[in-house]
Structure 1
């Protein structure tokens, strides 16, 4: 197949701050022998993308200029000469940790992440290494598929791959952002009991409609960990997805059972915490850092989404030209995912 000539539109970040994210015409990249070129259908935004643009997520790694956003779905328009895994026309998903295929992560996995330091998908075309791409589930749209690479896989990897979630377990989920809503859908599908914390009764009602068993409004009930204990007859949750970070990690320890598992995913309230080590020791809490997951788990998750007919929850779909508005919406919070339709 000959080179795809011409230019494409791409959003490029030239300095930190959304005012420096500019829509430009650039050359369509040419895939190397082990790469594929995809025509991007849609991308989804994660907290990581906003943190990169704002300059407080490993700023030393961010290239200038950067095509941002790691999570993309698209159709292969050209495959390199050594590519055997896919053919032109296949619909595939990006995978954030592009070299983490299975097993334990290597120390240098962050060197191969999409959307920093590798170029991302907020463009009409995108290059992926063929071995790191994943077939998109056939039962969902581009907009839905674009939400899977970070948010869904993070929830799946925490609860299932590492957590071994089983029917009857109790899971606590913080808020109603992308990771938490996927956690709710996955846990509910696997027969677990789900408690969701939220600052909004309206969002809590939506979470109940998705299968949550109980809602705790942490504005009305600041001692939400005590409420988790009440709801679990004093035992605490088996697993908790920690997306807030900061000092609240101490409350999460109180909300989980003895030898319970806390998956530390986010840092919305800060990247550091003063931890009460005596409570961790006496409760024998397992605190597991989570950085998304490997490709094998991604493929297993996609099969499960097809099996259980899990449909990603999208708050809003923005047009390609509305990328700035999409970032601004993400800053204000969303119920589920923010998606940008590219083509």
Structure 2
């Protein structure tokens, strides 16, 4: 299906989850162009990216959160401001911006108010040609990044950044253990290397191991060939264990993460990619570690991360870019788990 490029002043297009539960429920519709009011800005969305959360929401499997029929999906998007409301003061027309994953979380610790608004759940997301957003929910993009690269930042990058900086910042010479090659894990590897850490990664294939090594991984462990990867990680750290662990597997891998951790380590519990019926709660007492349920970050943390990205020349890893008309194919590809880094949708059709 070939889509025309959107021209402001006509009809915009957006995708909707008409029937959460299957890829067939993703439907494209025309709408009148929205207009910003008060402290809102109107953004021409240039690119979006997919997260595991988006896939779960599309399938209707995201915890207790039900998606209202007709909701526009995707939490991560970047674009340019093309109009502003009369009370806008911190954003101007022409600015390149991304949206905050949690629009109400400006600064400080997480709170009920901070998580009260979430794209796709409580408001429409970013898989649209034009989007209205509160100016306080917008973050300026690093000048060094394209719109496609910037669209990968709001969830995966900020989650990795917050895990490595918010509670117990990574110090040079420490050991960071990451799992797999999804968005959060790849960003964690990149950020950890910027911080001077030694990084051990687990992965499923020699091909992915080579790519992770090229990004700076010091040690790669194939968990399919070596299911006792926690033992291999301890050996690779000369018996010390990892000081920081990016735990994206959830309860299915948490027990091994505890065994791979150094004394006093921080385990950042981020994902729920695997399940287990054999998790032993006693394992929590087998090592002296701190297990933190990590979640994205505030706008201020997003801004600090962007400064670091720009200063250090970090480039997000994009596996594949789909066109706007290929949004469903992007979800289907993401669902295979074959991607390395981020899957992006460019909101124009060549």
The reply to whether TM is greater than 0.5 is yes
Contact 2:104 2:113 survives alignment (8 Å): no
Unmatched runs of 5 consecutive residues or more in structure 1 = none
2:208 is paired with a residue whose SS is helix
Q: How does 1:35-54 map to 2 (within 5 A)?
A: 35-54=40-59
1:296 is paired with a residue whose SS is helix
Q: How does 1:257-272 map to 2 (within 5 A)?
A: 257-270=262-275
Cα deviation, residue 115, structure 1? 2.5
Cα deviation, residue 275, structure 1? 4.4
Structure 1 outlier segments of 4+, above 6 Å: none
Cα deviation, residue 234, structure 1? 1.1
Select which of 144, 149, 154 maps to 1:144. Answer: 149
What TM-score do you get using the length of structure 1 for normalisation? 0.96
- Looking at structure 1, the residues matched to 34 and 206 of structure 2 have their Cα atoms a distance apart, in angstroms, of 47
Cα deviation, residue 178, structure 1? 0.5
Q: Structure 1 residue 194 and structure 2 residue 199: aligned?
A: yes
**Number of the residue aligned with 1:319:** 323
Contact 2:270 2:293 survives alignment (8 Å): yes
Contact 1:61 1:117 survives alignment (8 Å): no
What TM-score do you get using the length of structure 2 for normalisation? 0.94
Contact 1:44 1:340 survives alignment (8 Å): yes
Q: Structure 1 residue 280 and structure 2 residue 284: aligned?
A: yes
Q: Structure 1 residue 123 and structure 2 residue 128: aligned?
A: yes
Select which of 333, 339, 344 maps to 1:329. Answer: 333
Q: How does 1:190-339 map to 2 (within 5 A)?
A: 190-270=195-275, 275-333=279-337, 334-339=339-344
RMSD between aligned residues: 1.4
Contact 1:249 1:273 survives alignment (8 Å): no
**Number of the residue aligned with 2:68:** 63
Deviations 1:157-201 (A, max 9, x none): 001122301110100100001111001110111110001100111
How many residues in Structure 1 have an aligned counterpart in Structure 2? 339
Select which of 160, 167, 188 maps to 2:165. Answer: 160
- Looking at structure 2, the residues matched to 183 and 282 of structure 1 have their Cα atoms a distance apart, in angstroms, of 26
Contact 1:239 1:260 survives alignment (8 Å): yes
Cα deviation, residue 5, structure 1? 4.0
**Number of the residue aligned with 1:111:** 116
- Looking at structure 2, the residues matched to 205 and 5 of structure 1 have their Cα atoms a distance apart, in angstroms, of 48
Q: Structure 1 residue 7 and structure 2 residue 14: aligned?
A: no
**Number of the residue aligned with 2:183:** 178
Cα deviation, residue 274, structure 1? 5.4
- Looking at structure 2, the residues matched to 114 and 321 of structure 1 have their Cα atoms a distance apart, in angstroms, of 21
